[in-house]
Amino acid sequence: MNQFLKKVSLVFFSLLLLQCTSNKEPQKTTLKKKTKTQSNNRAKFYSSCVDITTYDGKRKLETGYGFMISPTTLVCPYRMFARATKASIKPWGKNKTYSVDRYIAVDRVNDIIILKTDSITRTPFQLQMEKPKNSISTLIMKKKRGKLLIVSKGKFFSCDTVSGTPYYRVSNKIQKYMKGMPVLDPQNKVIGMGLQMIVDFEKTSYALPAYLIQKLLSQKSKSKSLSSLRETSNVEQKRNAGIKEVILSTTYGDIHIKLFNNMPQYRDNFVKLIKEGFYNQLLFHRVIESFVIQSGAADSREAVKGDLVGWKGPGYTLPAFINPKYFHQRGMVGSPRLPNDVNTDKRSDGGQFYIVQGRRYTNSGLDNIEKENHYKFTKKQREVYRTIGGAPTLDGEYTIFGRVIKGMDVVDKIAKEPVDEEWRPLKDIRLKHVAIKY
């Protein structure tokens, strides 16, 4: 009997082992087929990646990469185009180079530009809108060696905020020259645009999230010339001269500003950034009661409590234009800048601005400022500072380009908010939207 049971048991375990083995084989085959399919799908996007070279006229500026997000549009880093009038693009695996000189959307805050590429059409990458799962595999395509598609493999680590912008940190080794390459998930969807940054003195690989690219694509407008990113046409200048006011909609109400037409470069720059949506949802990040309230810092939109903000602009500065006709009386709008020791030309920040709340001064107080700043106040200035108030310590040092014509009560309300040691309000106060009234 025992011998019989032993034989039955042996047959049973043999059948069980055979069943397990037969069950495993199809899974292996399926896995191989799936991997091969994903690889084939990835290869079809190869020519949807492009080499980019930017130019100012005939002068070569920068090189980088981009990738197609619709059959006739591609995305790449904006900073490559800050001074460019045109660009050339070369699809991977192709010998022909194409000229590009128009864009449909730009986000200077998050360093994204979407170019119009009517001369070529390609299969677009699909953007992954959801946040990657922890430790998910991340892939970066590289140029082929012969017929072999090279893929750099890594993993998604975390969501980080750097200079006010959200990024996905990945383990892929993204070199500085690789800026603009698509970072893919295992399904070949783009989780973001690759770049390298120095964080805490270390080279770190990031992907700018795809949802920011999609958000910008949804805001696309009629195509414009690349030169308009830094220049304003004569037609636009004439239209800007007819602006009656710009209206800042803030958390506490509206502030109405008149831009000065005898400060055309500053006026046109402010209008250009308004139209691009640059100021939307930025913080009033620096508030000093009886002095100024300040906004326009590109690193403040996504900032959380405790973040140090106020150091990121649109990627350029403006030459100082200190008009003696204007001084810092209450309600004036000016452009901040870095201190003289690192900015001898007194160039202004390209995007930030301040509004003077100010206070009243005595004659003796004005005398002291004259001695300290080596600046002489006119009779009119003294009268205004004694009766209306302002910020006389700024005179002769900063460019003024507008004034508040309505809404100083909102300025006063913002100025009363409690602040931290960096003068950032403890409660977020946002510049929600800016409208232009002609």
Each residue's pLDDT tens digit, 150-166:
788 999 999 998 888 89
* Mean pLDDT of the region 213-218: 95
Q: What is the pLDDT of residues 38-88, one digit of tens each?
A: 666 777 889 999 999 999 999 999 999 999 999 999 999 999 998 899 999
pLDDT of residue 134: 87
Q: What is the pLDDT of residues 17-28, one digit of tens each?
A: 444 444 444 444
pLDDT of residue 232: 87
Q: Which residue segments constitute the domains of the chain, with CATH numbers given?
A: 46-116 (2.40.10.10), 137-215 (2.40.10.10), 232-437 (2.40.100.10)
Judge whether 322 and 398 are in contact, CB under 8 Å: yes
- Cβ neighbors of 130 (< 8 A, separation 6 or more) are none
pLDDT at position 14 over 50 = no
Burial class (CB within 10 angstroms; exposed 0-12, middle 13-18, buried 19+) of 4: exposed
Q: What is the pLDDT of residues 371-390, one digit of tens each?
A: 999 999 999 999 999 999 99
Judge whether 228 and 106 are in contact, CB under 8 Å: no
Judge whether 133 and 77 are in contact, CB under 8 Å: no
Beta strands 190-199 and 182-184: pairing type? antiparallel
Q: What is the pLDDT of residues 299-356, one digit of tens each?
A: 999 888 888 899 888 888 999 999 999 999 999 999 999 998 899 899 999 999 999 9
For 160-172, give one letter per residue: b (16+ CB within 10 A) or e: eebbbbbbbbbeb
Judge whether 80 and 134 are in contact, CB under 8 Å: no
Radius of gyration of the CA atoms of the chain, in A = 29
Helix, strand, coil abundance in the chain, percent, nearest 5: 30, 35, 35
Judge whether 264 and 237 are in contact, CB under 8 Å: yes
Q: Is 180 helix (H, G, I), strand (E, B) or coil?
A: coil
* Mean pLDDT of the region 259-288: 96
- Cβ neighbors of 369 (< 8 A, separation 6 or more) are 361, 375, 377, 392, 393
Distance CA 437, CA 37 (A): 55
As a whole number, the mean pLDDT across the chain is: 89
**Nearest 10 degrees: CA dihedral of 329, 335, 338, 341?**
-50
* pTM, 2 dp: 0.81
pLDDT of residue 28: 42
Q: What is the pLDDT of residues 381-418, one digit of tens each?
A: 999 999 999 999 999 999 999 999 999 999 999 999 99
DSSP state for residue 191 in the 8-state scheme: E
